[in-house]
């Protein structure tokens, strides 16, 4: 019989996702744990997201200047950088950083809980570990990544403003005006919506890998590692799909 | 634990007590590895049954079937009159409030302090009569195991023996009717092991709990067992009191008692 590990894995993750939707919307709701996970997920990735957002904005601005100057289009830099950051770079870079930071920590955390039988202990204590551990984390990543992306976008744009001001002078008002004039809702909304899917992918893959980690300490490492690899790959695939879909809807 | 005196001798046998746990023809395999083939055993209220068996003979698998972490391939498990294979998630959770399980690996939550570890089962089980008394219950449970001053520590800061005792406190805090101990004394020094054995006896007498104890520590078996069963070849190979099995002619039984 034809059996590819890739397909088997895809099927297993799909099943896991199905279980998330079946169990996630039935009581009892683990509200406290969910809020705590939101805090953990958001707070843990804040510094990384801030730093990468800043560097992204600065580098984009500094690197595009020579080219733009050649065409005498320096005044278009804010518009161009703004579009690039908001439509693509902000969401994707934040999501990848998020996958590296949060995906791996969820994979390792649940993996070690599985290996040391803590997940079984929860079940014995009358708690549904899937709800308590998985549903809360997946919801937290799904909601926090969009917030982090907006933050990274803002920091990246500010960095771009700083970059422009290293040569020449622009006022912040003019800079913002420039960006806004080049933006439409069709740029912003799809870019924002896809980040929910990125966050969901990071959460579900991290949880899946940890939840079914193999026994032994090697299993924990493997769970953390493959959580990052698979969720990063998924982020690119979702990004590609998002471009296709917005194209079909005539929003590009 | 400081309050404990030497473990009391087994209580004198009285009339037949109510059966709280029945295992009938349990079988469980992992692929080609037939761990349990046909295991049957009863457990009565207020009784300590010790299950002996070589490493890898499937003792942990057996208790995990009882608590519902593994599903047997065949056979029936009846806990407090309920066939657990017929229970849904909620009913199983309610039943589990009356069952305590001490993991062989302790399974303490290592992201939580000792206090939070003990509070977890208390808060998760909706036991109205324990509401508002959590603080005292935690302190009481910790003092029962002789670790009253560790409440704010993390499990990683404790020694192996201390962790075992905290795990025991977490099991006892719900005052279960049946306790399943998976190797409660393995890896402990002889003195601590004896203290734990004494504690198991004390819990049995104080709350009339039934206990299903897995062990190969013969010292502890002698102290806690009202009845001993030997698990071999996936079956209940022999059972009887400690003295009866110690005199058994079959070398496979006898070897445990040398
Ligand atoms: N989840 C599992 N998947 C596959 N095989 C398992 C699983 N759990 C246990 N086994 C196998 O079942 C057998 C019995 O394991 P078990 O843990 O019950 O032994 P044990 O009697 O408790 O031994 P010990 O005294 O060393 O704890 C072993 O051969 C083990 O490989
Ligand atoms: Mg075992």
- Domain boundaries in chain B? 108-175
- A23 neighbourhood in chain B, CB within 8 Å: none
Residue A141 has pLDDT above 60, yes or no: yes
State yes or no: cis peptide before A28, omega within 30 of 0: yes
Q: What is the pLDDT of residue A24?
A: 87
Choice between B88 and B188, residue whose per-residue pLDDT is larger: B88
Among the partner-chain residues B94, B101, B107, the one whose CB lies closest to the CB of A116 is: B107
Task: Please check whether residue A92 lies inside any domain of the structure.
Answer: yes
Q: How far apart are CA B152 and CA B146, in angstroms?
A: 15
Q: What is the pLDDT of residue B175?
A: 86
Residue B11: pLDDT band with limits 50, 70, 90: low
Residue B128 has pLDDT above 70, yes or no: no
Q: What is the pLDDT of residue A148?
A: 97
Please, what is the Cα angle at A44 between A30 and A120, to 5 degrees? 40
- Residue in this structure with the two tokens 């579900």, named with its chain if needed: A204
Q: How far apart are CA A55 and CA A198, in angstroms?
A: 21
Task: Please check whether residue A13 lies inside any domain of the structure.
Answer: no
A124 touches chain B (CB under 8 A): yes
Task: Mention every residue, 6+ apart, whose C-beta is less than 8 A from residue B32.
Answer: none
The pLDDT tens digits for B132-173 are 788 888 998 898 888 888 889 999 999 888 898 899 999 988
A28 touches chain B (CB under 8 A): no
A32 touches chain B (CB under 8 A): no
Q: Which residues of B121-151 are buried (b: 16+ CB within 10 A; e: fewer)?
A: bbbbbeeeebeeeeeebbeebbebbbbeebb
Residue B2: pLDDT band with limits 50, 70, 90: very low
Q: What is the pLDDT of residue B133?
A: 80
Among the partner-chain residues A113, A120, A125, the one whose CB lies closest to the CB of B120 is: A125
Task: Please check whether residue A142 lies inside any domain of the structure.
Answer: yes
B154 touches chain A (CB under 8 A): no
Residue among B26, B29, B59, B220 to mutate when testing ligand 1 (max atoms within 8 A of CB)? B59
Q: What is the pLDDT of residue A238?
A: 96
Among the partner-chain residues B69, B107, B125, the one whose CB lies closest to the CB of A118 is: B107
State percent of chain A over pLDDT 70. 98
Mean pLDDT of B83-104: 89
Residue B14: pLDDT band with limits 50, 70, 90: low
A94 lies in which domain range? 30-248
Residue B108: pLDDT band with limits 50, 70, 90: very high
Residue B13 has pLDDT above 60, yes or no: no
* Closest-CA distance of chain A to residue B238, Å: 30
Q: What is the pLDDT of residue A94?
A: 96
The pLDDT tens digits for A188-201 are 899 999 999 999 99
Residue B4 has pLDDT above 60, yes or no: no
The pLDDT tens digits for B48-73 are 999 999 888 999 999 999 999 999 99
Q: How far apart are CA A132 and CA B45, in angstroms?
A: 33
Residue B200 has pLDDT above 60, yes or no: yes
Quote the number of domains for chain A.
Answer: 1
* Closest-CA residue of chain B to A116: B107
Mean pLDDT of A68-76: 87
* Closest-CA residue of chain B to A27: B90
**Going by CA atoms, what residue is nearest to atom 25 of ligand 1?**
B55
Q: What is the pLDDT of residue B1?
A: 43
User: How far away, in angstroms, is B103 Cα from ligand 1 center?
Assistant: 13
Say whether pTM exceeds 0.90. Answer: no
**Going by CA atoms, what residue is nearest to atom 30 of ligand 1?**
B56
Residue B174: pLDDT band with limits 50, 70, 90: confident
Q: Please, is A74 exposed, middle or buried when counting C-beta atoms within 10 Å of its C-beta (0-12, 13-18, 19+)? A: middle
| Dihedral sign of CA atoms A97, A102, A105, A108 in order | negative
Q: How far apart are CA A239 and CA A221, in angstroms?
A: 27
**Going by CA atoms, what residue is nearest to atom 17 of ligand 1?**
B60
Give the nearest ligand 1 atom to B70 CA: 1
> Which of B180, B233, B230, B215 has the alpha carbon at shortest distance from B38?
B233
Task: Mention every residue, 6+ apart, whose C-beta is less than 8 A from residue B99.
Answer: A124, B66, B67, B79, B176, B177, B178, B179, B180
User: How far away, in angstroms, is A166 Cα from ligand 2 center?
Assistant: 67
- A216 neighbourhood in chain B, CB within 8 Å: none
């Amino acid at each position: 019989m034809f059996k590819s590990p890739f397909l088997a894995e895809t099927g297993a993750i799909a099943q896991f996702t199905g279980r998330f939707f079946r169990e996630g919307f039935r009581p009892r709701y683990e509200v406290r744990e969910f809020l705590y996970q939101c805090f953990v997920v958001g707070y843990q990735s804040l510094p990384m997201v801030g730093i990468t957002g800043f560097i992204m904005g600065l580098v984009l601005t500094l690197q595009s200047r020579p080219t733009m100057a050649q065409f005498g289009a320096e005044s278009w830099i804010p518009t161009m950088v703004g579009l690039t950051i908001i439509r693509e770079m902000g969401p994707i870079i934040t999501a990848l950083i998020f996958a590296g930071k949060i995906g791996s920590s969820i994979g390792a955390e649940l993996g070690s809980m599985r290996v040391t039988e803590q997940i079984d202990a929860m079940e014995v204590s009358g708690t549904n570990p899937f709800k308590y551990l998985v549903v809360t984390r997946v919801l937290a990543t799904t909601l926090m990544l969009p917030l982090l992306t907006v933050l990274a976008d803002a920091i990246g744009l500010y960095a771009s403003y700083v970059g422009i001001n290293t040569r020449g002078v622009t006022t912040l008002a003019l800079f913002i005006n420039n960006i806004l004039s080049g933006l439409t809702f069709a740029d912003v909304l799809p870019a924002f919506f896809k980040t929910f899917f990125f966050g969901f992918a990071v959460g579900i893959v991290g949880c899946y890998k940890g939840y079914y980690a193999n026994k032994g300490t090697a299993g924990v490492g493997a769970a953390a590692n493959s959580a990052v690899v698979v969720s990063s790959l998924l982020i690119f695939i979702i990004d590609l799909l998002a471009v296709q879909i917005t194209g079909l809807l005539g929003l590009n | 634990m400081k309050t404990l005196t030497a473990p009391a001798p087994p209580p004198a046998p009285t009339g037949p007590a109510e059966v709280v746990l029945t295992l009938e023809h349990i079988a469980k395999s992992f692929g080609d590895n037939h761990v349990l083939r046909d295991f049957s055993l009863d457990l009565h209220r207020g009784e300590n049954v010790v299950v002996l068996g070589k490493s890898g003979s499937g003792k942990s698998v057996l208790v995990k079937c009882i608590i519902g972490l593994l599903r047997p391939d065949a056979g029936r498990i009846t806990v407090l009159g309920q066939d657990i294979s017929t229970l849904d998630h909620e009913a199983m959770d309610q039943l589990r409030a009356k069952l305590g399980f001490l993991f062989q690996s302790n399974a303490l939550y290592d992201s939580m302090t000792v206090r939070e570890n003990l509070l977890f089962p208390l808060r998760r089980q909706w036991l109205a009569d324990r509401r508002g008394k959590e603080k005292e219950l935690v302190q009481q449970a910790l003092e029962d195991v002789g670790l009253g001053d560790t409440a704010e520590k993390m499990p990683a800061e404790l020694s192996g023996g201390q962790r075992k005792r905290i795990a025991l406190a977490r099991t006892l805090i719900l005052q279960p009717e049946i306790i399943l101990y998976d190797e409660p004394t393995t890896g402990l020094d002889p003195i601590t092991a004896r203290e734990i054995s004494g504690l198991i006896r004390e819990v049995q007498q104080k709350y009339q709990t039934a206990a299903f104890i897995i062990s190969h520590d013969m010292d502890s078996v002698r102290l806690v067992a009202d009845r001993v069963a030997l698990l071999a070849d996936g079956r209940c190979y022999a059972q009887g009191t400690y003295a009866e099995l110690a005199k058994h002619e079959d070398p496979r039984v006898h070897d445990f008692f040398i």
